Amino acid sequence: MGFLRGLTLTLVSGGWLGCASTPAGEAATYGVQDGRVWVSGPWKAVDPSRDADDVIDQLCPAIMRLPRAQAGDHGQEYCGVLYTLEDGTYYASHPSPLGDTRVGRVSSEKNCYVPRAVRDVRGQTVLIGDYHSHPWSPSPMTTSRRDRVAATQLYSIRIQFDKACHLQKLIPYMNEARPGELYERRGKSWKLIGLIRPENKANGAITRVDD
């Protein structure tokens, strides 16, 4: 997953002027405004729920139906967010494929920009987490330092999954003097597999937790 550094330059040079192109009559589901990616919501492919885990469990199957989501070095990474309307229900946004076009289309490195806003016509949104896919497997967060470093953490949780739908969750605790926590989804439970100690949050170094 890429940083927002250089986003404006990349999007302008790549022809992005503020909204995504869509078939005639269809509203854009992602785009760029003031150098920041936005997405629309809710995404109808993912049912809302009062249990955030119910929403999270639907993300990977929905994403893997999208173009090139499972294509490995030829693949596409997608980023989106989880949010509420302060109504006690959790929603998933549409995913965005926007990323740094300077990374080659055929490459062992993929990225997408974390959305900074959700457009939901029903009301004010509160963003609680981001999600992104990897088009390979296995591809855990334990081997992707840039997905763990403090500079890329925008929200309370981060969800990552690979093409085999191995699901992991990072709770970075960025403004707290406690370790960040990395979990793996096992059935309907989360298993703690790693800690990011406060002194390591900047570099994302992880301490494994034994079973």
Q: Is the pLDDT of residue 149 over 60?
A: yes
What is the Cα–Cα distance from 93 to 78, expressed in whole angstroms?
11
Burial class (CB in 10 A: 0-12, 13-18, 19+), 27: exposed
Per-residue model confidence as pLDDT tens digits over 16-74: 333 343 444 567 999 999 999 999 999 999 999 999 999 999 999 999 999 999 999 98
Confidence band, pLDDT 50/70/90 cuts, at residue 7: very low
Q: Is the pLDDT of residue 14 over 50?
A: no
Contact 90, 55 (CB under 8 A): yes
What is the Cα–Cα distance from 199 to 76, expressed in whole angstroms?
33
What is the Cα–Cα distance from 98 to 111, expressed in whole angstroms?
8
Mean pLDDT value of segment 182-210: 97
For position 9, what pLDDT does the model report?
33
**Model-wide pTM > 0.75:** yes
In degrees, to the nearest 5, what angle opens at C-alpha 55 toward C-alphas 1 and 63? 45
